[in-house]
Amino acid sequence: MEALHNLGIDGKLLLAQVINFLILLFVLRRFAYRPILAFLESRTARIEQGIKDADLAREKLLEIEKKEQATLVSAQKEARDIITRAEEAAKKRSEAHEKSASEKAKKFLEDARAEIEEEKRKSLSEIQNEVASLIALSTEKVLREKADSEKGPATRFLD
């Protein structure tokens, strides 16, 4: 111990300092180091959980995007099908309208032709009747004149 004394180190003081250091180490370990370690461990666990949650969220987001893309493709296909069916229905309706209009026009033309033919027949019949009547009158007149000329001039005044 004398060697320590020659160096200027007091043994009692050194022992008191070692005891103080051990007490301080115990107090720090008990009240500071363990809570700090526990806080750091809990923080590390929260960070790891946050990373896991972020990874799960990213995976769910990718899954949702895939579903959204599939739904969008399905909706586009359905829209194309609806448009195609609507175009086909419109085309059929248009063809039906055209056919109906064509049939109506044909019927109208046929009716008009029949009516014209009927009017033509009636007109010819009337003309024939008038011509026959005129021929009869003309013949009668000619026959009277011939009869009058054969009777003589005296008989003409009697009529």
CA atoms within 13 A on the CB side of 69: 6
Residues 6+ apart with CB under 8 A from 9: none
For the entire predicted model, the pTM comes to: 0.42
Q: What is the dihedral of CA 55, 58, 60, 62, to 10 degrees?
A: -140
20-40 confidence digits (pLDDT tens): 999 999 999 888 888 888 999
pLDDT band at 114 (very low <50, low <70, confident <90, very high): very high
Residues 6+ apart with CB under 8 A from 5: 11
State how far Cα 103 lies from the chain centre: 34
- 5 has pLDDT over 90: no
- 1 has pLDDT over 80: no
